[in-house]
Amino acid sequence: GHIEVVQVVFDPQIISAPEILKWFWKAHDPTDPRGQGVDKGPIYMSYIFTHSPKQRELAETSKKEAQTNFDAPIVTTIQDAEEFYAAKEEHQDYYFRMKGENPYCPQQITPKLKKLGLDY
């Protein structure tokens, strides 16, 4: 099996890991044990995969801090990263390619982007 995730590569001189984690908690509902929005099932559950003890510590700390913003318990799993496999090409940049063609994009993705203050 697999889990649908994004791999975030960043320059800490531009944005910090704690800042990325703040966006992560804000962008989705980390309290839903069944998945995200209309996407349900194990491949859509909330995960953070870490590459070092420092990343794990940052993730655990941010999870505790984020919990104060939710009534239900956060169910996001934090675990060590394993091998990452990029999705097939037709799944890359899906929102940008399909937002005018697939109603899923404006119904499910656009509201999340707006919640983050992003307008694409």
What's residue 80's pLDDT?
97
Asked if residues 36 and 46 have their Cβ atoms less than 8 Å apart, the reply is yes
Q: Is 87 helix (H, G, I), strand (E, B) or coil?
A: coil
Asked if residues 3 and 49 have their Cβ atoms less than 8 Å apart, the reply is no
Whole-structure pTM value = 0.86
- Range of 110's domain? 88-120
Please name every residue paired with 77 in a beta bridge, in sequence order, or none if there are none. 47
Identify whether residues 65 and 98 lie together within a single domain: no
Identify whether residues 96 and 50 lie together within a single domain: no
Identify whether residues 6 and 44 lie together within a single domain: yes
How many residues in total does the chain contain?
120
pLDDT tens for residues 51-70? 999 999 999 999 999 999 99
**Domain of residue 40, CATH code:** 3.30.1060.10
Give the whole-number percent of the chain exceeding pLDDT 70: 100
- The Cα–Cα gap between 15 and 75 comes to 25
Asked if residues 20 and 26 have their Cβ atoms less than 8 Å apart, the reply is no
Of the candidates 49, 41, 38, the residue with the CA atom closest to the CA atom of residue 108: 38
Identify whether residues 7 and 61 lie together within a single domain: yes
Q: What angle do CA 21, 36, 54 make, to 5 degrees?
A: 25
Identify whether residues 76 and 103 lie together within a single domain: no
What's residue 37's pLDDT?
86
